[in-house]
Amino acid sequence: QVDLQFLDEVISGGADPNCSDRYGQTVLHEVSRAWSVDVMRFFLDRGSDPLGSDQFGVTALHVASALDYEDMVQFLLDREVSADPSAQTFLDQQTPLHYAAKNDAVRSIKLLLRAGANIGCTDYKQRTPLQLAASMGDQRSEAAQVLLELGANAGVKDSDGQLCISALIGRMSHVAQEAIRQFHVKDRVTRQEYFYLNLLEPEEAGTPGDPSGRRASPSVRLQVVVLEGKLDLIMNPVFLKLIEIKWKLYGRLGAWLLLVLNFLLNVCWTTVAISMSACQDSPDRYTFPQDWWRVLLVVLALLLTLEEVFREIQDIVLSRRKLHLRRGWMERRFQDDLRCSHPMWPQERQYLLNQTRRIQRMRGNYSRVPALRNIFDWLVYSLLTASFCAHLADVLQPSILLHTLSLRLFSISIIFLWLRLMKHVRAFRLMGPFIVMLGNIVGDVMRFLFLYAEIFIPYACSFWIIFGGTPSVPSMQSVSGLLYSLYRITLVDEYEYAAMVTVDNIMAPLLCGTFLAASSILCVNLLIALLSDTFQRVHDNSQANAVMQQAAVILQVGDSMPRLHRFYDNQYISKHCSPLGEACDNLSMSSCYHHEFGHVTGQVRVGIRH
């Protein structure tokens, strides 16, 4: 309760209704937080300035808008009060609409826009209210959604080069779906559809060596979608068209080059390994001159392997460089905002500090790629290195032991080498879902192996205690033989049950029966259920998974094969896709109209009036 009579006596006694605290905030700033509209009217009637701001330029309308105090915002915007909806703060130059957007004050946003606030107004970093809401994360998604519905532009870029759509894609996918529609419009008159891909992939501002550090974020929109695995966004018509254009420009050529080079690598190492096994009875590992082709194959295989390793190292270095640039870019942004933060809004400062600490936990693109894929690559390179070193030692100093070791290593390496080829066929949409399915199956198999080990290890110990090392059960005389016998029991294969009964007719049926039930019936059927579930999940999103894999290869080609840039125009999208027009037969009543059609309609109406 507020004693208005007492306040009236105080003001009548000479108190200044516009007096302020150490931050320059007047009583109106406090009233606009939570007090009633009647209290605000009371102070305004006694001379308080509704346009007055504190030392940071924050007005009462800023405060009420940020807190989504609907009645107060409406009162301040009335003609009698006439608070300025375009008033800007001094440091960050933000309007009440900015304050409402970054605090998810949906009702205030609608009132401010109804009162004439500019939905495209910008702050000191040229950020619109929509950009500010998007940068604050998913907790501001409702404000971003409302701003989009009321006509906010998602294709604008701030002074740091950050696109509004980038923040939406990274932080609020469901809102980004709505925003991307602005880049895809249809004209029902000409039956054309237009893709504004230049707004989705604009030219980056600045250069890496720019001393000011004011350059665009290293992450591009397609990269964010792929790294975050956003299957819903990848199937948007705009992204599908962007992927199609990039695939035709350089993706297809790069994917085929990678596939052919790796296929050639596999063939070379396979031929080398087979030729070694064919000559294992010869005391000389190479006989010249007839074995010149074998030496040539080894050299070619080594060169191709070194080229693959170099590309991997190049990806790591590029990923770290991009991470360093992005961290510096984000730190500068947050530090700039921290300098503009208001001491009366500590929660905003705390949010910025938390985001600054979060930057240090960011990972590069290379480490964000599924870890199994990178580990598998380096496993193959390590096996090939070990195989070649063993073979080289055998050539320099022939011995049966080294030759046998090199053959064993090569036999294992060849298996993994050919499995690795699947990584390079995922770009082709017929194979994409299949590769994703295999990747998910690996996780299911690892979970199954953990459960199987929980059962296998204690049973192996029990079988060894009863039957291990006895000549009565030949298959279990050694540890390796016993382990293999248990594996055969899991597969319901033949095993020496009769021999085990002769050793212990009580424990034999007990151990064999329970192990068969636990390993074969329980574990194997559980694995089948896991694989079926994985297949269903991938199959339900088969097209999206195929497109996602193709997009991932396009990004890989763009980063690891920069020489391909010579074969296409880097400015193709900005020159030919602003917009890209295509014939469209599927036009629904809800389709958007092309802006030119809107202009024509307006001209016709003006002509009719005249």
DSSP 365-417: HHHHS-HHHHHHHHHHHHHHHHHHHHHHHHHHS--HHHHHHHHHHHHHHHHHH
Do 469 and 382 lie in one domain? The reply is no
- Which helix (H) or strand (E) segment holds residue 186: the answer is strand 184-187
pLDDT number for residue 209:
37
Q: pLDDT-based confidence at 586, cuts 50/70/90?
A: low
Inform me whether the pLDDT recorded for 598 exceeds 60.
no
Whether 56 maps to a domain, the answer reads yes
Q: pLDDT per residue over 228-260, tens digit each?
A: 788 888 888 899 999 999 998 888 888 999 999
Least confidently predicted of 172-181, 206-215, 385-394: 206-215
Q: Hey, CA dihedral for 409, 414, 415, 419, is it positive or negative?
A: positive
For residues 303 and 366, membership in a common domain is answered with yes
413 and 283 co-located in one domain = yes
Decide which of 85, 116, 147 is a domain's last residue.
116
Q: Are residues 343 and 456 in the same domain?
A: no
So what's the pLDDT on residue 595? Answer: 45
Say what the pLDDT of residue 372 is. 61
Query: Quick check: is 408 in a domain?
Result: yes
What is the pLDDT, as a whole number, of residue 35? 87
Give the domain range for residue 68: 1-116
| Confidence at 1, pLDDT banded by 50, 70, 90 | low
Domain annotation covers residue 111:
yes
pLDDT in tens, 479-499: 999 999 999 998 888 888 999
The pLDDT confidence band at residue 588, using thresholds 50, 70 and 90, is: low
What average pLDDT score do residues 261-274 get?
94
C-alpha of 40 from chain center: 48
What average pLDDT is seen over the chain? 83
Helix or strand run (H / E) with residue 548: helix 542-560
Given this model, what pLDDT does residue 466 score? 92
Last residue of a domain, one of 116, 144, 169: 116
pLDDT at 366: 65
Specify whether 337 is located in the same domain as 273: yes
| Same-domain status, 296 and 358 | yes
Of all residues in the chain, the percent with pLDDT exceeding 90 is: 30
476 and 400 co-located in one domain? no
In this model, does residue 206 exceed pLDDT 80? no
Q: Mean per-residue pLDDT for 543-557? A: 84
For residues 110 and 590, give the distance between their C-alpha atoms in angstroms, rounded to a whole number. 24
Mean pLDDT of 256-276: 92
Residues 390 and 266 in one domain: yes
Within a domain: 88: yes
Q: Give the H or E element holding residue 149.
A: helix 141-149
Over residues 305-314, mean pLDDT = 90
What SS3 class is residue 204? Answer: coil
Residues 6+ apart with CB under 8 A from 310: none
What distance in Å separates the CA atoms of residue 124 and residue 92, rounded to the nearest whole number?
5
Residue 330: strand, helix, or coil: helix
CATH number at residue 473: 1.10.287
428-442, 507-521, 547-561: which range is least confident on average?
428-442
Read off the pLDDT band of 90 (50, 70, 90).
Answer: very high
- Can you read off the two tokens belonging to residue 206? 């600045």
In 3D space, the residue among 526, 90, 89 whose CA is nearest the CA of residue 98 turns out to be 89
Other beta carbons within 10 angstroms of residue 425's beta carbon come to 19
pLDDT tens-digit readout, 434-452: 777 777 787 788 888 898 9
Exposure string over 494-518, b if 16+ CB within 10 A, otherwise e? ebbeebbeeeeeebbeebbeebeeb
385 vs 2 pLDDT, higher one: 385
Quickly state the pLDDT bin for 188 (edges 50, 70, 90): confident
What does the pLDDT read at residue 282? 66
CA distances from 604 to 142, 185, 592, 601, 608 (A): 37, 21, 19, 5, 6
Q: Same structural domain for residues 2 and 80? A: yes
Query: Predicted confidence band at 281 (pLDDT cuts at 50, 70, 90)?
Result: low
Q: State the pLDDT at residue 79.
A: 67
CA-wise closest residue to 583 among 197, 293, 38, 195 = 195
- φ, ψ for residue 24, nearest 5 deg: 85, 10
* pLDDT grade for 590, boundaries at 50, 70 and 90: very low
- CATH number for the domain spanning 44: value is 1.25.40.20
pLDDT digits (tens, 9 = 90+) for 13-64: 888 888 888 888 899 998 998 888 888 888 888 888 888 899 999 999 999 9
Q: What is the pTM of this model?
A: 0.75
Which tens digit of pLDDT belongs to each residue from 527-541? 888 888 888 877 777
Confidence of residue 386 (pLDDT cuts 50, 70, 90): very high
Residue 597 has pLDDT above 90, yes or no: no
Query: How many other C-beta atoms can be found within 10 angstroms of the C-beta atom of residue 94?
Result: 27
- pLDDT bucket at 414, cuts 50 / 70 / 90: very high
pLDDT score for 60: 92
Q: Which of 63, 81, 116 corresponds to the end of one domain?
A: 116
Report yes or no on 90 lying in a domain: yes
pLDDT band at residue 126 under the 50/70/90 scheme: very high
- CA-nearest of 142, 89, 92, 84 to 118 is 84
Residues 413 and 472 in one domain: no
Mean pLDDT, residues 286-298 taken together: 86
Based on the domain organization, do 400 and 460 belong to the same domain?
Answer: no
Q: Comparing C-alpha atoms, which of 435, 437, 453 is closest to residue 531?
A: 437
**pLDDT at residue 571, rounded to an integer:** 81
Domain presence at residue 74: yes
The answer to whether residue 562 is domain-embedded is no
pLDDT of residue 596: 41
> Is 530 contained in some domain?
yes
User: Could you tell me if 382 and 473 lie in one domain?
Assistant: no
pLDDT above 90 for 100: yes
Q: CA-CA distance, 258 to 423, in Å (whole number)?
A: 10
- Residue 79 or 351, more confident: 351
Which pLDDT belongs to residue 608? 44
pLDDT at 319: 83
| pLDDT at residue 216 in the model | 41
Query: Average pLDDT for residues 88-93, to the nearest whole number?
Result: 92
For residues 484 and 476, the answer to whether their CB atoms sit within 8 Å is: no
Q: Structural domain tally of the chain?
A: 3
